[in-house]
Structure 1
Amino acid sequence: MINSKTKYEATLEEIWELFSFHKLGNVTGIAPLGNGEFNAAYKVTCDSGDSFALKIAPPEGATVLTYEKNMMESEVFWYKKMHENTDILCPKVYVADFSKSIIKSNCFVMQMMEGEPLWAVNFSESEYENVQRQKIEMLTKIHRITNDKFGYRQTGLHDTWYDALKSMAGNLVSDCKALGYETPDGERFIAYIDKHVEILKKVPCRMVNFDLWDSNVLYKDGKICWIDPERGFWGDPVADFITLGPGQKTPLSSKGKDLETYNETADEKIVLTSETEIRYALAVCLLALIEEVEKYVRYEPDEPNYIRNTVDAREMYDMAFDIL
């Protein structure tokens, strides 16, 4: 597993006891799972032959960002929303244990899904196009799930996307200062939120994943499976275009093909206008600010991921500020 300052290191005894208490079976094998950088994850095999995925939140007292507190409860919520409202292939949650009585942190046990993350698969051109279409169609499905309040469930919801986005950005700036750093770019982002208040107040409230990177999508036999919806929020559906096309460092106008594919199956079309460009650029700023601030709690300054976050954030800010 990737080194990270937030990962809970479970003992074998804790995992055995958790599975026994919840009557999931007698554990016969435990192995680290995935390349996540925040939670700990394990593949747990039982004497029945069944395998499960165990996910554990950072330990009590770990330094995490404001929006990351109790984020695991939100992840379970988003899985439930997808199962109840869509046909998207994603894991079933068997047990959610937030008691901290056995494992001393929030955790849940879910279905172990088969497949390789998209980045690990050597696709032909036609296979890749098919996978991209499936990803975009998954977004149109979650964007049919609506709410009347915006923001992160774990930090409190707001009446408009303007209020929610300003709160989300404000919390990140406060987190940054509490860690002993200034973020002039974060302050500038908040000023742009205020500048575009009228646009943001008109944004519809939809389920947004905001994390549909290739590492969070598994592939097997032509089908894809969605994992790790933990960073989801109620907000602007345009924000989900950050992971599509050429990625998060290019404007929405560079994603014409993805917009066309999206609009083929979407109930509400996303049309490329100056307003949608602004909404998208503000979502890019949110991701840039998250990457900028999270590096201080996850990594040491000489680690590659710290440097990656620094470079990524700078390039995202520059692109977005040019639009805003």
Structure 2
Amino acid sequence: MDSWERARRVLDTAGLPPDGLVDCRALSGGTYNTVEELRLTDGTRYVLKIPPSADADGMTHERNLLRSEAEFYRAAATVGVPAPEVVTAGEHHLLMTRCPGTPWGDLDPGEQVVLRGELGHLVARLHSVTGPGFGYPSGALGPLAPDWRTAFTTMYDAVLDDARRYDAWLPRPADEVARTAKAAYDALDQVTVPRLVHFDLWRGNILVERSDGTAPRIGGLIDGERMFWGDPLADFVSLALLADIKQDVDFLTGYQEAGDRAEFDFSARQRLALYRSYLYLIMLVETVPRATGAEQLARVREAVAPELLAALDEFR
């Protein structure tokens, strides 16, 4: 079926008038799911996500991402963090409200200070939410685990298995990466409570709302499909993508003002290096199933490979 017919069926499932659909347009920025904006006659806007077909290439942890995304939004709502509201969710769709604002772009220095502090408050509230176990709630890598070490090493092994399966380019062989990372696995035992982790909080997934005559504010945290229950320290990777979160004083101040700790002792630094290497492995491996073009592929390797090596070197 075409996009309009699919959208009407989803609206009908949600108890919304399918004949009220006046616009259905694709949204840019999605790298895995199909994302569309639906507008109804009363002006209400929704976002519809559709997963790729079951036989589409993808990474192992990407199965059933929409199930994780719906769980993230429902969990965020319990602590008042602005995020889309789930309208209806099924095996083959996720319909949600549209948050106000546009992806975080250039800001003047004063706005940057305020918004990074506000973001710190919001992320600390996310991390106050606890889950029923550790790992991806999608079930892509199996059921939730009783401990973080089991969950995360399963996640890490899965991305390395994907690297081998796709024969993805890495700056070091997958087996060497696996041996190097194991040196830091003992640090994972310090994490005993599964907490809500977005794990994709780069600026493109943070909406900034501007109203005439008012200061900008964060309108919503979106694209929660990569969420898992685990160590909140893992969120600091995408929050400082290809950089060092310890340099983001404004964010860390807001995070601590909201009552959460951001300590970087030896164990924390080892875990943070593990999470950095995990995300950077994903960024390199996913270029294969995404069929990334040569020019973009070169940019990804140039930017990500040194950061992956730096993270791995911290285990030596």
* TM bucket normalised to smaller: 0.7 to 0.9
Kept in 1: contact 2:256–2:262 (CA 8 A): yes
Report the 3-state secondary structure (helix = DSSP H, G, I; strand = E; otherwise coil) of the residue aligned with 1:94. strand
Quote the offset at 1:253 in angstroms.
4.4
Question: Which residue, out of 310, 314, 322, partners 2:305?
Answer: 314
Report the 3-state secondary structure (helix = DSSP H, G, I; strand = E; otherwise coil) of the residue aligned with 1:62. coil
Match of 1:115 in 2: 101
Kept in 2: contact 1:94–1:109 (CA 8 A): yes
Structure 2 runs not aligned, ≥5 long: 211-215
Question: Which residue, out of 46, 56, 59, partners 1:52?
Answer: 46
Once residues 37 and 250 of structure 2 are traced to their aligned partners in structure 1, the CA distance between those partners, rounded to angstroms, is 37
Quote the offset at 1:133 in angstroms.
1.0
Alignment length (residue pairs):
302
Structure 1 runs not aligned, ≥5 long: 1-8, 99-105
Q: Which moved more, 1:107-116 or 1:156-165?
A: 156-165
Kept in 1: contact 2:169–2:285 (CA 8 A): no
Quote the offset at 1:252 in angstroms.
5.0
Quote the offset at 1:265 in angstroms.
1.6
Report the 3-state secondary structure (helix = DSSP H, G, I; strand = E; otherwise coil) of the residue aligned with 1:52. strand
TM-score where L is the length of structure 2: 0.88
Q: Which moved more, 1:87-96 or 1:248-257?
A: 248-257
Superposition pairs of residues 134-153 of structure 1, within 5 angstroms:
134-147=118-131, 149-153=133-137
Match of 1:241 in 2: 236
- With over 3 angstroms needed to count, the CA separation of the structure-2 counterparts of 1:20 and 1:262, relative to structure 1, is closer
Quote the offset at 1:256 in angstroms.
5.1
Once residues 123 and 131 of structure 2 are traced to their aligned partners in structure 1, the CA distance between those partners, rounded to angstroms, is 16
TM-score where L is the length of structure 1: 0.86
Match of 1:103 in 2: none
**Structure 1 ranges of 4+ moved more than 6 A:** none
Once residues 107 and 147 of structure 1 are traced to their aligned partners in structure 2, the CA distance between those partners, rounded to angstroms, is 24
Report the 3-state secondary structure (helix = DSSP H, G, I; strand = E; otherwise coil) of the residue aligned with 1:19. helix
Instruction: Give yes or no for the alignment of 1:206 onto 2:190.
Output: no
Kept in 2: contact 1:65–1:294 (CA 8 A): yes
- With over 3 angstroms needed to count, the CA separation of the structure-2 counterparts of 1:186 and 1:159, relative to structure 1, is farther
Letter in structure 2 aligned against 1:46: L
Instruction: Give yes or no for the alignment of 1:278 onto 2:270.
Output: yes
Kept in 2: contact 1:252–1:280 (CA 8 A): no
- With over 3 angstroms needed to count, the CA separation of the structure-2 counterparts of 1:49 and 1:167, relative to structure 1, is same
- With over 3 angstroms needed to count, the CA separation of the structure-2 counterparts of 1:182 and 1:302, relative to structure 1, is closer
Kept in 2: contact 1:251–1:281 (CA 8 A): no
Match of 1:171 in 2: 158
Superposition pairs of residues 22-41 of structure 1, within 5 angstroms:
22-25=14-17, 26=19, 27-41=21-35
Instruction: Deviation per CA, 1:258-310: give whole Å up to 9, x if none.
Output: 4343222234x121222211111111000011111111000244241x23332
Once residues 44 and 169 of structure 2 are traced to their aligned partners in structure 1, the CA distance between those partners, rounded to angstroms, is 49
Match of 1:43 in 2: 37
Quote the offset at 1:248 in angstroms.
3.2
Higher relative contact order (CA 8 A, sep 6+): 2
Match of 2:213 in 1: none
Quote the offset at 1:115 in angstroms.
1.0
Q: Among the aligned pairs, what percent are the same residue?
A: 25
Once residues 101 and 22 of structure 2 are traced to their aligned partners in structure 1, the CA distance between those partners, rounded to angstroms, is 22
Report the 3-state secondary structure (helix = DSSP H, G, I; strand = E; otherwise coil) of the residue aligned with 1:297. coil
